[in-house]
């Protein structure tokens, strides 16, 4: 008997262009299967796209390198047949009596025919629909099965106008598919339009009765002391006889590492007629004071393990389903004070600070590992929401799993964008895809796929547009809230009264709002007028002005995003290493003229003539790529920290939230990003991390801060401290901004034109630092050019490192001390005792019970081991490095990087090990100050990593480990 459960089919695939294969699907899966990767067959990447496979086999150049995408033929010029491909694999599967097997494609773009052992099945169109084929009767008697799939591109791949533009000629909008693939102002066209088997393929084995699409809902009463788990499942009896079933639900929670406690176990008995599909709702399960799931920065992301199983009398276990579930309540309504949409989780208002997300990779090279890095990066920036933009994907369950784990609320849009569905050049068709029923089918499939995730916060009809009237009306009907989840008079937490008499788990969703578009109902001006943005470099001080943005919640505001020089060298030939020309205009402003490759990669200048002076030139004219990119990181840091600080300074009085456009690029783009496509963070990443911390003079937490102090010190370029002040015994109310005092140094006698400001917020009882913020500032009307000669200062440092490793995973703790001045023990300045922030050690706690593929290990208990508490110390070494220097002063803009060799290459070789998770980077230390930086990463097998420290005063870099 084959074990019950799912088996992934993610290896052993071959692919070939359909026009180069003379055989039929029947022949390929019976008499003439290919023997291996010999022409025209090649090793295929599944899940993946046609372009992914061609690039992996070096049949095409890397479209994300330099201008290579221009050498790849576009589907508009080649015709759809050029990107119509066969994919073929074989798999073992032999059944026992009364077992059933389904072949599952979680998503294909765009349509396909499937052949299994000579039998043909046709898959319907649509990029975001699931396909399950009952193949029980066509499996091979010997257990060896041949599977071939011919995949066709979207029906309307469109053409790319010579001027480029948003969504090309908009033809892709006629299909239910991702719209970004024709190119955007941040993206080059994807030549195959993402054609392929782009998501999970599996076969699943069950007994006579199959479990389908369980729906889990939590409801709360008595101020969250009482909670109920509501569960509805669909069951299908595929046998020819009445199935007498025992249907069980088990809920357990992890109490210690790998030790789980069963909270509830309930079994119900029912009979299902032959061939019938029935819906069954469990009696609600009561919990007293469950561990709640909280967004990032508000508490732990507690997740319960829910298992539903069905046993059939005379057969045994027939099917099992498993999911991690978070008890939480999300409310959302338009705030009367600000006009912005306000979110509450578990009764607590959440000031939204997050980012817009397109997708992880433009070639759909999606993986659990990449998703984990992407989403942990967002959590590391202290963000609490990600918006899945309507021109991209309905994101995958793996994406949502890590959002559950790291506490990122998710705004999920459907596949409508203003540029492709009603606006644009040429003017696009406002009626959406040609097949409205297909759109709604894909939408309902998406809801069922994702609705059990705690992180999913709301559904939105489209980006800067609403769906066509009939689609919009259907979505409003399908996603109507259950009465118990409607927002009434600002309070959902009354007695347990079921208004409708219908269990909420019987709804398609019923727990999350549906908003028709990204600029409606509490977003932007709320009326759908074009009132999001802007998307370019800004004057940092403008973000704090009362008139900067006039509405309560901005769903898109963007800026620059230049990566580090090593990324430019790794992703472009030498012609792309030329920095922009700085063209002085008669107006006094400077226009940046980028090279051709930067222009192709959608570079956003650091100047906006007429409005914003060049922010890089404020630090002096850069002389080469390294200098330009380093100064860009300074600007990135200031730009995004000011953006978030400005928004947060108006928390609740004017704003309820902001989402930055955008957090990353799904290719090697040069704009709007906090980390590049190679997974190296920019300075903006750490500017956001600083500004969005839960306590940042602004208290975004639910707890009052009492008996605290703020220390302010100013440092000049000579290493002296002309200003020092402490404000003691302060109380900061929860969810409030607090004005303490005005820092009067700029108005003092003879203030320095450029100076550093260090602010520390700490508990007076134990000197535990809640927030540390370092600023570099100039007097009004000035610039930072005095920092250029400051680079020659030799500031002494002492760096103590401690390394722990398990296999190829490293945890490194670096303690960095500015030894240019003896610390003054009478003040708080040098006592860097940082308080543990909410979630710092909880991120990895829930990375468990993720993979449940029965062929690997039935219901695996662990997918990732916690690094912090479960490290097996295979190596544990320490090192002290002292950097001598005769000067006193601030060690400015220090940043670590990890490499696979001693020296960082200035050529095309990229020695960096990526990704690396840093507790902080791009940091500065005043004289006598000490800071600890933790970094975790995986090194390639056989490589001993080297860690380098660079900084404004250490341009050549220092190998410190």
457-481 pLDDT tens trace: 999 999 999 999 999 999 999 999 9
**Sheet strand arrangement including 201-206:** 5-8, 201-206, 100-105, 131-134
With beta carbons less than 8 A apart as the criterion, state whether 524 and 518 touch.
yes
Residue 549: pLDDT band (50, 70, 90) is very high
Asked if residue 653 belongs to a domain, the reply is yes
List the structure tokens of 104.
């599952």
Q: Between 533 and 734, where is the model more confident?
A: 533
Q: Tell me, yes or no, if 592 is annotated catalytic.
A: no
Instruction: Check 556, 693, 904, 929 and give the catalytic one.
Output: 556
Instruction: Check 236, 413, 464, 711 and give the catalytic one.
Output: 464
Of 772, 790, 808, at which residue does a domain stop? 790
pLDDT for residue 844? 41
Q: How far apart are CA 687 and CA 642, in angstroms?
A: 8
Same domain for 484 and 393? yes
Q: How many CB atoms lie within 10 A of CB 464?
A: 26
Which run of H or of E encompasses 133? strand 131-134
With beta carbons less than 8 A apart as the criterion, state whether 602 and 186 touch.
yes
Question: Per-residue pLDDT for 642 more than 80?
Answer: yes
Question: Per-residue pLDDT for 869 more than 50?
Answer: no
The crossing angle, in degrees rounded to 10, of helices 469-478 and 436-450 is 30
Task: Count how many domains the chain has.
Answer: 5
Same domain for 258 and 334? no
Of 171, 206, 241, at which residue does a domain stop? 206
Question: What is the CATH number for 782?
Answer: 2.60.40.10
Q: Between 819 and 843, where is the model more confident?
A: 819
Q: How far apart are CA 961 and CA 943, in angstroms?
A: 14
Which run of H or of E encompasses 449? helix 436-450
Is 928 buried (19+), middle (13-18) or exposed (0-12) by CB count in 10 A?
A: middle
Same domain for 176 and 123? yes
- Find the mean pLDDT for residues 228-248: 97
Q: How far apart are CA 467 and CA 519, in angstroms?
A: 13
Region for 533 from its dihedrals, namely left if φ exceeds 0, alpha if ψ lies in -120 to 50, beta otherwise: left
Same domain for 259 and 168? no
Residue with tokens 């276990």: 317
Q: How far apart are CA 793 and CA 233, in angstroms?
A: 68
Residue 494: pLDDT band (50, 70, 90) is very low
Question: Per-residue pLDDT for 243 more than 70?
Answer: yes
Same domain for 231 and 88? no
pLDDT for residue 763? 86
Question: What is the CATH number for 542?
Answer: 3.20.20.80
- Find the mean pLDDT for residues 601-609: 98
Asked if residue 192 belongs to a domain, the reply is yes
Question: Per-residue pLDDT for 202 more than 60?
Answer: yes
Residue 878: pLDDT band (50, 70, 90) is confident
- Find the mean pLDDT for residues 705-733: 89
- Find the mean pLDDT for residues 259-281: 93
Asked if residue 600 belongs to a domain, the reply is no
Phi, psi of 444 (to 5 degrees): -65, -40
Same domain for 274 and 217? yes
| DSSP 8-state assignment for residue 147 | E
Q: How far apart are CA 651 and CA 609, in angstroms?
A: 31
Same domain for 336 and 277? no
- Find the mean pLDDT for residues 197-216: 98
pLDDT for residue 822? 65
Q: What is the 3-state secondary structure (H, E, C) of 212-277?
A: EEEEEEEEEECCCCEEEEEEEEEEEECCCCCEEEEEEEEEEEEEECCEEEEEEEEEEEEEECCCCE
What pLDDT, in 10s, does the model give residues 116-138?
999 999 999 999 999 999 999 99
Distances (CA, A) of 249 to 198, 230, 290, 293: 32, 11, 17, 20
Asked if residue 594 belongs to a domain, the reply is no
Of 325, 353, 374, at which residue does a domain stop? 325
Q: Tell me, yes or no, if 263 is annotated catalytic.
A: no
| DSSP 8-state assignment for residue 3 | P
Residue with tokens 């200048």: 605
Residue 744: pLDDT band (50, 70, 90) is confident
The crossing angle, in degrees rounded to 10, of helices 683-691 and 625-648 is 20
From 509-513, 597-601, 767-771, the region with the lowest mean pLDDT = 767-771
Same domain for 765 and 715? yes
Q: Sign of the C-alpha dihedral, residues 657, 659, 660, 664?
A: positive
Percentage of the chain beyond pLDDT 70 is 92
Same domain for 551 and 481? yes
pLDDT for residue 834? 65
Q: Which residues of 631-656 are buried (b: 16+ CB within 10 A; e: fewer)?
A: bbbbbbbbbbbbbbbbbbbbbbebbb
Tell me whether the omega of the peptide bond preceding residue 200 falls within 30 degrees of 0, making it cis: no
Is 895 buried (19+), middle (13-18) or exposed (0-12) by CB count in 10 A?
A: buried
pLDDT for residue 846? 39
- Find the mean pLDDT for residues 817-833: 67
Q: How far apart are CA 48 and CA 397, in angstroms?
A: 16
Question: Per-residue pLDDT for 839 more than 60?
Answer: no
Asked if residue 895 belongs to a domain, the reply is yes
Same domain for 248 and 150? no
Question: Per-residue pLDDT for 900 more than 80?
Answer: yes
Q: How high is the mean pLDDT of the chain?
A: 91
Give the alpha-carbon dihedral of 72, 76, 77, 82, to 10 degrees: 70
The crossing angle, in degrees rounded to 10, of helices 368-380 and 397-406 is 30
Question: Per-residue pLDDT for 843 more than 60?
Answer: no
Question: What is the CATH number for 45?
Answer: 2.60.120.260
With beta carbons less than 8 A apart as the criterion, state whether 428 and 421 touch.
yes
Asked if residue 568 belongs to a domain, the reply is no
DSSP secondary structure, 814-851, as one string: EEEEE-SS---TTSSTT--EEPPPTTTTTGGGG--S--
Q: How far apart are CA 841 and CA 844, in angstroms?
A: 7
With beta carbons less than 8 A apart as the criterion, state whether 318 and 311 touch.
yes
Question: Per-residue pLDDT for 490 more than 60?
Answer: no
What residues make up the domain containing 770? 698-790
Q: How far apart are CA 794 and CA 952, in angstroms?
A: 10
Percentage of the chain beyond pLDDT 90 is 82
pLDDT for residue 876? 65
Where are the strands (E) in 274-420, listed by range? Answer: 277-281, 285-288, 304-312, 316-325, 330-334, 341-345, 348-350, 352-357, 385-388, 409-413
Same domain for 535 and 431? yes
Question: Per-residue pLDDT for 683 more than 90?
Answer: yes
What pLDDT, in 10s, does the model give residues 24-61?
999 999 999 998 999 999 999 999 999 999 999 999 99
Question: Per-residue pLDDT for 1 more than 70?
Answer: no
pLDDT for residue 902? 63
Q: How far apart are CA 332 and CA 664, in angstroms?
A: 27
With beta carbons less than 8 A apart as the criterion, state whether 152 and 195 touch.
yes
Q: Which of 293, 341, 317 is nearest to 845 (CA)?
A: 293
Residue with tokens 């469950």: 290
pLDDT for residue 126? 98
Asked if residue 667 belongs to a domain, the reply is yes
Count of H helices and E strands in the chain? 13, 46
Question: Per-residue pLDDT for 495 more than 50?
Answer: no
- Find the mean pLDDT for residues 855-864: 35
| DSSP 8-state assignment for residue 939 | P
Which run of H or of E encompasses 152? strand 144-152
Q: How far apart are CA 126 and CA 483, in angstroms?
A: 33
Q: Which of 415, 2, 12, 412 is nearest to 201 (CA)?
A: 12
Asked if residue 39 belongs to a domain, the reply is yes
Same domain for 827 and 783? no
């Amino acid at each position: 008997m084959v074990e019950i459960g799912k088996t992934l089919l993610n290896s052993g695939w071959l692919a070939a262009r359909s026009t180069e294969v003379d055989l039929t699907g029947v022949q390929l899966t019976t008499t003439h299967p290919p023997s291996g990767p010999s022409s025209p067959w090649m090793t295929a990447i599944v899940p993946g796209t046609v372009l992914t496979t061609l690039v992996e086999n070096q049949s095409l150049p890397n479209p994300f390198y330099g201008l290579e995408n221009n050498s790849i033929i576009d589907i508009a010029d080649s015709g759809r047949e050029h990107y119509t491909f066969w994919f073929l694999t074989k798999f073992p599967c032999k059944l026992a009596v009364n077992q059933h097997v389904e072949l599952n494609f979680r998503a294909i773009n765009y349509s396909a025919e499937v052949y299994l052992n000579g039998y043909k099945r046709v898959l319907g169109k649509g990029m975001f629909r699931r396909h399950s084929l009952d193949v029980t009767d066509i499996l091979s008697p010997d257990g060896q099965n041949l599977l071939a799939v011919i995949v066709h591109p979207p029906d309307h791949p469109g053409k790319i106008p010579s001027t480029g533009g948003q969504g090309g000629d908009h033809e892709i909008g006629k299909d239910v598919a991702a719209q970004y693939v024709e190119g955007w102002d941040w993206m080059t066209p994807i030549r195959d339009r993402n054609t392929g088997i782009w998501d999970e393929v599996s076969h699943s084995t069950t007994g006579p009765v199959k479990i389908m699409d369980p729906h889990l809902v939590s409801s709360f009463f008595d101020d969250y002391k009482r909670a109920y788990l509501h569960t509805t499942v669909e069951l299908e009896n595929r046998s020819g006889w009445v199935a007498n079933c025992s249907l069980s639900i088990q809920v357990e929670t992890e109490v210690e590492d790998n030790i789980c406690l069963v909270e509830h176990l309930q079994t119900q008995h029912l009979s299902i007629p032959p061939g019938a599909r029935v819906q069954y709702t469990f009696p609600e399960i009561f919990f007293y004071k469950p561990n709640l799931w909280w967004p990032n920065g508000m508490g732990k992301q507690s997740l319960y393990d829910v298992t539903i199983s069905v046993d059939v009398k005379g057969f045994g276990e027939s099917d099992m389903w498993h999911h991690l579930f978070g008890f939480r309540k999300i409310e959302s309504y338009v705030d009367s004070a600000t006009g912005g949409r306000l979110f509450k989780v578990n009764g607590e208002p959440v000031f939204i600070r997050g980012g817009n997300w397109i997708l992880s990779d433009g070639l759909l090279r999606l993986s659990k590992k990449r998703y984990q890095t992407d989403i942990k990066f967002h959590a590391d920036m202290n963000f609490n929401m990600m918006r899945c933009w309507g021109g991209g994907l309905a994101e995958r369950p793996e994406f949502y799993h890590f959002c559950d784990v790291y506490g990122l609320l998710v705004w999920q849009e459907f596949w409508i964008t203003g540029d492709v569905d009603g606006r644009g050049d040429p003017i696009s068709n406002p009626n959406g895809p040609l097949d409205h029923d297909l759109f709604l089918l894909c939408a309902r499939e998406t809801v069922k796929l994702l609705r059990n995730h705690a992180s999913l916060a709301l559904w939105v009809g489209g980006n800067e547009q609403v769906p066509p009237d009939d689609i919009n009306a259907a979505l409003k009907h399908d996603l109507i809230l259950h009465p118990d989840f409607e927002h009434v008079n600002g309070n959902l937490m009354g007695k347990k009264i079921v208004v409708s008499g219908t269990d909420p788990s019987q709804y398609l969703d019923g727990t999350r709002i549906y908003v028709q578009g990204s600029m409606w109902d509490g977003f932007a001006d709320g009326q759908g007028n074009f009132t999001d943005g802007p998307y370019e470099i800004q004057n940092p001080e403008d973000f704090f002005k009362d008139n900067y943005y006039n509405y309560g919640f901005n769903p898109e505001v963007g800026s620059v995003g230049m990566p580090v020089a090593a990324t430019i060298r790794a992703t472009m030939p030498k012609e792309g290493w030329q920095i922009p020309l700085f063209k002085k205009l008669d107006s006094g402003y400077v226009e940046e003229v980028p090279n051709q490759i930067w222009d192709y990669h959608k570079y956003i200048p650091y100047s906006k003539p007429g409005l914003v002076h060049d922010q890089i030139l404020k630090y002096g004219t850069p002389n080469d790529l390294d200098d330009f990119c380093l100064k860009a990181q300074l600007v990135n840091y200031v730009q995004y920290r000011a953006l978030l600080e400005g928004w947060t300074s108006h928390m609740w009085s004017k704003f309820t939230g902001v989402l930055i456009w955008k957090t990353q690029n799904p290719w090697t783009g040069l704009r709007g990003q906090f980390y590049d496509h190679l997974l190296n963070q920019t300075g903006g990443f750490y500017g956001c991390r600083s500004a969005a911390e839960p306590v940042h003079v602004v208290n975004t937490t639910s707890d009052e801060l009492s008996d605290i102090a703020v220390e302010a010190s100013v440092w000049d370029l000579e290493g002296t401290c002309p200003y020092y002040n402490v404000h003691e015994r302060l109380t900061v109310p929860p969810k409030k901004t607090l004005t303490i005092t005005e820092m009067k140094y700029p108005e003092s006698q003879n203030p320095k034109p450029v100076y550093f400001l260090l602010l520390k917020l700490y508990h007076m009882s134990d000197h535990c630092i809640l927030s540390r913020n370092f600023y570099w500032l100039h007097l009004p009307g000035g610039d930072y050019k005095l920092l250029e000669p400051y680079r020659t200062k030799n500031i002494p440092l002492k760096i103590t490192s401690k390394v722990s490793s398990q296999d190829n995973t490293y945890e490194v703790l670096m303690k960095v001390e500015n030894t240019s001045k003896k610390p003054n023990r009478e003040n708080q300045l040098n006592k860097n005792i940082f308080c543990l922030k909410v979630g710092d050690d909880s991120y990895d706690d829930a990375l468990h019970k993720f993979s449940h593929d029965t062929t690997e290990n039935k219901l695996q208990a662990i997918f990732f081991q916690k690094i912090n508490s479960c490290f097996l110390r295979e190596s544990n070494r320490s090192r002290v490095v002292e950097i001598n220097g005769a000067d006193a002063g601030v060690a400015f803009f220090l940043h670590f990087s990890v490499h696979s060799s001693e020296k960082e290459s200035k050529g095309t070789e990229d020695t960096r090990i990526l990704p690396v998770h840093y507790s902080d980077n791009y940091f500065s230390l005043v004289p006598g100050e000490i800071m600890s930086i933790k970094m975790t990463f995986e090194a390639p097998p056989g490589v001993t990593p080297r860690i380098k420290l660079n900084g404004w005063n250490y341009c050549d870099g220092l190998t410190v480990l």
